[in-house]
Amino acid sequence: MHETSLSSVSTEPLQAEAYLERTLSPALVWTLARRELRDSLRDWRIVIPIGLLTLVFPFIMLLIGAALFDFLEQYGATIIGEQMVPFGLLAVGFFPMSFSLVIALETFVGERERNSLEALFSTPASDVDLYVGKLLASLLLPLVASWFGMAVYALAMVRADMWSLDAYTFALIWLLNTAEGVLMVSAAVIVSSHTTSVRAANLLASFIIVPVALLLQLEGLILFWNKTTALWWLFAGVIVLTIALLRVGIRSFNREHILAREIDFLNLERAWALLKAFWRAAPDDVPRVRQVPEEAPPFHLRRFYTQVLPAMLKRDRWAMATGTFFVLAGFGLGWYLARAWHVPAELIDFNRLDVSQLQAQLQANQTGLAMLPRFSVRAILVHNVRVVFISGVLSLFSVGVVPALSVLAPFTLIGGIASVLAAGGQDWGRFLVAFILPHGVVEIPAVVIGLAYALRIGAMVLGPPRDFSVSEGIVLAIADFLRVLILVVLPLLALAALLEVYLTPRVIVALYG
């Protein structure tokens, strides 16, 4: 049977150009992946640490678990030790995956430093073939190590008579670890294709490992409280994010740009010049302004609102759709969790709302609804702007996780309240119309727009636009975020704060009076 190999395919320019127009070739993808796997397995600096983490770390966790069981048994709290078993399984699956991330981080940039990238790119494999082949090779070894480590840990726990997981929970944890592994490797391959040195790629690894480690702790907390159904929401979110990363990675990968990319030095003077130029430029002007910042057109407020802003919103419609999705997902999650956790219906009773007291506060200009320490226009505005601004800052370090949570959290609370009201036979629609709609009709779009551009900052770390370096992409995203925050979000949030203080309480009185 004929076997395709990288050394046997012709590298004639015309043939290569014709091949690049073809679709994905499974044979070439597997050949690329097999070549990478063979090189990784020959490197003792990779094999030995992975082997130790896979074979030794599960027994270390077993010893820790046994010591914990013995300690808790003295106080009759063995159930707490049993609830720690799922977290141990999560950790055992995560650590080999996180260490093996080094393979993915150096997929392309490592080839460049070894001066073997030109030979690899001279093959007639398409960009999609190259990217998928490298991705598959980076993924297989970490996944196998994670699965094997989990199996060793499970067998050791069974032999020690410490196993307390059912097949359903074990399968769920296995799915979560697998999905998070694919997520981390997908992000690492994007980083590797957009950086110019292995050292830079390794530094950016913290932007991948830290958010996933925080997610791991959240999963452990959920498992500790035995709320396994909530993990399916996290699993769905990881799958959606992984698909987005795969899409971004394939679309932004270009072999010519990787070969031509220079070292991405930190140049504060150029970064400041680009920031000012991107602030003034419309989306269509950005590629030209990137080359020559001095050619950025002058800033005009009218031009921004009539031309630049509509073009930005059209270009970033998927970011807006993502923000809207988190609003709806947060409401649905809150509704579901209130039912799943059996929140008592009598906990919230708006039928006993003291409207007369609220009217007296309004007449005295003391609209203290205990929503904030100070229920004033200034306090509400400062709080909302602070949330959006901090989300943008932390988005850079969390790859967009913090902005997503900033949208998800408040609407989860709103959905939970609505669910409790519905369970108690109260009109939850009236609650939304009275407490949320009067100012939310302005505040919600403002928050979605602001946090959508905050999400772009985190996204630029993993997938900058074509021809852009990582630093240039981040500067572009920061410029877009700042001008949207100052010129769009801030005025809308100021109007929403006015409505929340002077209109919303009166609507509450009218509907609940």
Dihedral sign from CA coordinates of 84, 90, 91, 93: positive
Any domain includes 279:
no
Containing structural domain, residue 386:
316-512
Residues 474 and 330 in one domain: yes
Residues 202 and 344 in one domain: no
Any domain includes 442:
yes
Residues 178 and 73 in one domain: yes
Residues 51 and 132 in one domain: yes
Rounded Cα gap, residues 462 and 191, in angstroms: 5
Any domain includes 50:
yes
Considering the chain, what percentage of its residues have pLDDT values greater than 70? 83
pTM: 0.68
pLDDT at residue 302, as a whole number:
92
Sorting pLDDT into bands at 50, 70 and 90, what band is 258? low
Any domain includes 358:
yes
pLDDT at residue 309, as a whole number:
93
Domain end (from 228, 244, 259): 259
Any domain includes 306:
no
Show the tokens assigned to 326.
């988190």
How crowded is the C-beta side of 487, counted as CA atoms within 13 Å? 18
DSSP for residue 489? I
* Least confident stretch, 233-237, 343-347, 482-486: 343-347
| DSSP-assigned letters across all residues of 236-299 | HHHHHHHHHHHHHHHHH--HHHHHHPPP----HHHHHHHHHHHHH--GGGHHHHHH-GGGPPPP
pLDDT single digits (tens) 188-221: 888 877 777 777 777 777 778 878 888 888 888 8
Any domain includes 18:
yes
Rounded Cα gap, residues 353 and 375, in angstroms: 18
Compute how many other C-beta atoms are within 10 angstroms of the C-beta atom of residue 211.
21
Residues 228 and 84 in one domain: yes
More confident residue, 416 or 258: 416
**Beta strand segments in 314-405, E:** none
Residues 63 and 148 in one domain: yes
Residues 193 and 336 in one domain: no
Sorting pLDDT into bands at 50, 70 and 90, what band is 5? very low
More confident residue, 420 or 25: 420
pLDDT at residue 372, as a whole number:
46
Residues 336 and 435 in one domain: yes
pLDDT single digits (tens) 347-390: 777 777 666 766 666 555 554 444 444 677 888 899 899 999 99
Show the tokens assigned to 216.
């791991």
Show the tokens assigned to 381.
């505005």
Residues 335 and 243 in one domain: no
Residues 320 and 255 in one domain: no
What residues contact residue 9 under an 8 Å CB cut-off, 6+ apart? 28, 123, 124
Count of domains observed in the chain: 2
- Average pLDDT taken over every residue of the chain: 80
* Least confident stretch, 34-38, 113-117, 149-153: 113-117
Angle at 454 between CA 337 and CA 416, to 5 degrees: 15
Which of 12-26, 51-65, 468-482 has the largest mean confidence? 468-482
Rounded Cα gap, residues 32 and 137, in angstroms: 8
pLDDT at residue 4, as a whole number:
38
Residues 114 and 199 in one domain: yes
C-alpha distances out from residue 442 to 129, 417, 498, Å: 46, 21, 11
Domain end (from 233, 259, 285): 259
Sorting pLDDT into bands at 50, 70 and 90, what band is 15? very low
Residues 325 and 255 in one domain: no
Domain end (from 259, 274, 297): 259
Rounded Cα gap, residues 217 and 389, in angstroms: 26
Any domain includes 271:
no
Any domain includes 233:
yes
